[in-house]
Amino acid sequence: EAGVAQSPRYKIIEKRQSVAFWCNPISGHATLYWYQQILGQGPKLLIQFQNNGVVDDSQLPKDRFSAERLKGVDSTLKIQPAKLEDSAVYLCASSPRFSRRSDTQYFGPGTRLTVL
Partner 1 sequence: AQSVTQLDSQVPVFEEAPVELRCNYSSSVSVYLFWYVQYPNQGLQLLLKYLSGSTLVKGINGFEAEFNKSQTSFHLRKPSVHISDTAEYFCAVSDRTGFQKLVFGTGTRLLVSP
Residues 106, 95: Cα–Cα separation, whole Å:
6
State the pairing for strand pair 75-79/88-95.
unpaired
- Whether residue 91 contacts residue 99, with contact meaning beta carbons closer than 8 Å, is answered with no
Residue ranges that bind partner 1, judged by CB under 8 A:
3-4, 31, 40-45, 48, 50, 55-56, 91, 93, 95, 99-110
Cα separation values, 109 from 17, 23, 83, 116, Å? 24, 10, 23, 22
Can you tell me whether residue 96 is helix, strand or coil? coil
